[in-house]
Amino acid sequence: MESLAGYVYKAASEGRVPTLAALLLHQEPETQYLLGYVTHLSGQKSTPLIIAARNGHDKVVRLLLDHYRVDTEQTGTVRFDGYVIDGATALWCAAGAGHFEVVRLLVSHRANVNHTTITNSTPLRAACFDGRLDIVRYLVEHAADISITNKYNNTCLMIAAYKGHTDVVKFLLEQGANANAKAHCGATALHFAAEAGHLDIVKELVRCQAAMVMNGHGMTPLKVAAESCKADVVELLLQHEDCDNGSQVEALELLGASFANDRENYDIQKTYHYLHLAMTARYRDPANVIVKKNLLPIEAYGGRRECRTLGDLEAIHADRDALHMEGLMIRERILGSDNIDVAHPIIYRGAVYADNMEFEQCIKLWLHALHLRQRGNRNTHKDLLRFAQVFSQMVHLKERVTAYSVEQVLSCSVLEIKRSMTRVETATESELQQARENYEANVFTFLYLTCISTKTTCSDEERASINKHIYDLIQLDPRSREGSSLLHLAISSNTPVDDFHTNDVCSFPNAQVTKLLLDCGSPVNAIDNEGNTPLHVIVQYNRPISDFLTLHAIIISLVEAGAHTDMTNKQKKT
Ligand SMILES: *[C@@H]1O[C@H](CO)[C@@H](O)[C@H](O)[C@H]1NC(C)=O
Ligand SMILES: *[C@@H]1O[C@H](CO)[C@@H](O)[C@H](O)[C@H]1NC(C)=O
Ligand SMILES: *[C@@H]1O[C@H](CO)[C@@H](O)[C@H](O)[C@H]1NC(C)=O
């Protein structure tokens, strides 16, 4: 029976009506079983009706509905463009995949037009995502509820606005969709259209009284458009009735600033153009000049201070570097230093400096971004690795790496490891793997940085602060999945080394790092999950001849630090 069900499913899936009819013929008492049977295949779990609807086989759907009265409300799990949809009906699938005829058949057989998936997505929402006005219209004409939101309170109007389906947006608005509904994140349809830069949709929404409100990050649609370099949308929204002079100036500045440090939209002429417009607007009414307040010079941005007058701005017209920094300062001021979007352009600009071998400016910017991201409690493991890479590149090129910068990054690295330990402890089952990998990656990065610190010239005082961070981490006693301590890892040839510049400078086993860890109090007789001490690890080093000096130096350091030569591991070996 089960294999017969498999053939039935396959015939339905491939739209082979005669085969399907033949398979079902004379199966009278079993047809309900065969047509309700859920086949698991390549990540999908569905019945013959659902898969036929998904694949647009209207003749199969007609046969199943007319002749076999299959339940239209069967649900399954289907895949769409990499998304996995749980609890989808045949109607949802047909609507999402754009099969009008199948939609029509299902609805005329009384399929529930409001039947939602597990995440509360309706067939109408699926059609709005896909931008099929004919299907959207048909569903609405058959009493589909346009106000049902998904589990994030995201409406059909929002998804159509974001995906840029102007005709669908117009239609939904005509049907009375609420232009001012808010999703969980606080965003309205206007935010989504503005962010994606769909000018016609923005116009349509504004015509239908869409208001200029803030989302959960304190951003209006105008600011969202400015932040993402959507100049035409910004120019349109500047005319919005909710937009006062102050917001206009801010939007123009944010737009100009964003063009200065965005990989895809970089345009320094536009930066100057919009900053100039903004500055002009600040002074438009001599009796009510909108002044910039409390501007302090910012060290990370070359100790610069934002321009305050047209004269200031005109003086840097031809100075790209100054305009880049102006952009970064403006973004940080307007977006706020805890905004998630602030750090990225700073890192981008730093990378451009690094490509031009201007390492000092790069490090300043990256340190600033690292501090911002860490203050915002964000995962910084990539930021930390990026430092290990650029420091390694510098060491390799014999550029000076300052003890101060290494010390700063080590300090952030200790905090990140502390946080990643907590993330492992509190992770759900599905997060655990990622959390562990992250944690380990952070520990490896710390070792790279420690290694770099042994190649940095330091004063006694600087060395002491660096050692303090190493000491702090040793106190936390981070361990790899094999239970290896920092000392085990420093001594093991299995410790992975990142291959973007880092491996030009760092390698393990590493005698300097071993010595440094021991000096900072690393327990010399720590054991891993197999009961091995660091001494067990080094005596098994596979290059005892060609790298004899490392082997020798490490053994001496361990023994001098009090390593017990008689400790046995789990296999009872000393
Ligand atoms: C769908 O929802 C709309 C609006 O609430 C309602 O009028 C209609 O009857 C519902 N249709 C079904 C099949 O439940
Ligand atoms: C989602 O929408 C429902 C109904 O409109 C509302 O009661 C609820 O507060 C909203 N939830 C959030 C988090 O916005
Ligand atoms: C806003 O701009 C208008 C037109 O330029 C001007 O008349 C008005 O004084 C400005 N208001 C403020 C508060 O600056």
Q: Averaged over 546-551, what is the pLDDT?
A: 87
- On whether residue 239 sits in a domain, the answer given is no
Ligand 2 contacts CB of residue 153 (under 6 A):
yes
Q: What local confidence, expressed as pLDDT, does residue 547 receive?
A: 85
CATH number of the structural domain spanning residue 49? 1.25.40.20
Tell me the pLDDT tens digit for each residue of 62-89: 999 999 999 999 999 999 888 999 999 9
pLDDT of 496 strictly over 80: yes
Q: CB–CB of 412/388 below 8 Å?
A: no
> Best substitution site from 73, 107, 110, 113 to test ligand 1's pocket, by max atoms within 8 Å of Cβ?
113
State whether residue 236 is helix, strand or coil. Answer: helix
CA dihedral 14, 15, 20, 22 (to 10 degrees): -110
Q: Which atom of ligand 3 is nearest to the CA of 244?
A: 1
The whole-number pLDDT of residue 297 equals: 87
Report the distance separating Cα 46 and Cα 13, nearest Å: 10
pLDDT at 565: 87
Distance CA 484, CA 211 (A): 57
**What's the pLDDT tens digit per position in 345-376?**
999 999 999 999 999 999 999 999 999 999 99
Q: Rounded to whole angstroms, what are the CA distances from 393 to 351, 399, 464, 501?
A: 13, 8, 25, 5
Atom of ligand 3 nearest to the CA of 287: 9
Over residues 89-109, the pLDDT tens digits come to 999 999 999 999 999 999 999
Q: Quick one: which H or E segment has residue 5? A: helix 2-14
pLDDT (0 to 100) of residue 439: 96
Is 272 within the bounds of a domain? no
Residue 545: band (very low, low, confident or very high) from pLDDT cuts 50, 70, 90: confident
Asked whether the predicted pLDDT for residue 147 surpasses 80, the reply is yes
User: pLDDT digits over 214-242, tens only?
Assistant: 999 899 999 999 999 999 999 999 998 88
Q: What crossing angle do the helices spanning 343-355 and 320-335 adopt, rounded to 10°?
A: 160
Burial class (CB in 10 A: 0-12, 13-18, 19+), 216: exposed
Residue 43: pLDDT above 90?
no
Give every CB contact of residue 488 below 8 A, 6+ residues apart in sequence: 480, 526, 528, 532, 534, 537
Question: Which helix (DSSP H) or strand (DSSP E) does residue 138 occupy?
Answer: helix 133-141
Contact between 490 and 517 (Cβ < 8 Å): yes
Provide the domain count of the chain.
1
Average pLDDT over residues 9-19: 95
The Å distance, Cα 114 to ligand 1 centre, comes to 6
What pLDDT, on the 0 to 100 scale, is given for residue 3? 86
The reported pLDDT for the residue numbered 212 is 93
CA 509/CA 547 separation, integer angstroms: 10
For residue 369, give the 3-state DSSP assignment: helix
Q: What is the pLDDT of residue 6?
A: 92
- What is the Å distance from ligand 1's center to 214 Cα? 32
Tell me the residue type at 231: A
**Domain coverage including residue 36:** 1-151
What confidence score (pLDDT) does residue 226 get? 97
Report whether 377 contacts 370 (CB < 8 A): no
Closest CA to 13 of 2, 44, 31: 44
Per-residue pLDDT tens digits for 249-302: 999 999 999 999 999 999 999 999 999 999 999 999 999 999 988 778 888 998
Nearest Cα neighbor of 482 from 455, 443, 511 is 443
pLDDT, residue 548, reads 86
Residue pLDDT, tens place only, 453-481 = 999 998 999 999 999 999 999 999 999 99
- Short-list 217, 219, 218, 213, CA closest to 240: 213
Assess contact for 162 and 187: CB atoms under 8 A. Answer: no
Query: What strands lie across the sheet with 39-41, from one edge to the other?
Result: 39-41, 44-46, 76-80, 83-88
Helix, strand or coil, per DSSP, at residue 56: coil
Residue 245 CA to ligand 3 center (angstroms) comes to 6
Q: What is the CA radius of gyration of the chain?
A: 31
Q: What is the pLDDT of residue 544?
A: 80
Is the model's pLDDT at 1 over the cut of 70? Answer: no
Tokens 């079983």 correspond to what residue?
Answer: 33
HEC readout, 146-175: CCCCCCCCCCHHHHHHHHCCHHHHHHHHHC
- Can you tell me the distance from the alpha carbon of 359 to that of 182, in angstroms, rounded to the nearest whole number? 45
**Atom 8 (ligand 2) nearest CA:** 153
| Predicted confidence (pLDDT) at residue 165 exceeds the cutoff of 90 | yes
**Does the CA dihedral 386-387-389-393 come out positive or negative?**
positive
In a domain, 21, yes or no: yes
Task: Say if 395 falls within a structural domain.
Answer: no
The ligand 1 atom at the shortest distance from the C-alpha of residue 113 is 13
Q: Is residue 265 part of a domain?
A: no
Domain assignment present for residue 50? The answer is yes
Q: What is the mean pLDDT of residues 108-136?
A: 97
Residue 159 lies in a domain: no
Mean pLDDT of the chain: 94
Residues having CB closer than 6 A to ligand 3 are: 245, 284-285, 288, 290
Would residue 423 count as lying in a domain?
A: no
Of 349, 353, 344, nearest in space to 326 by CA? 349
Of all protein residues, the one whose alpha carbon is nearest to atom 5 of ligand 2 is: 153
Owner of token pair 């009906």: 89
Report the amino acid identity of residue 504.
Answer: D
Q: How confident is the model at residue 25 (pLDDT cuts 50, 70, 90)?
A: confident
Cβ of residue 184 lying under 6 Å from some atom of ligand 2: yes
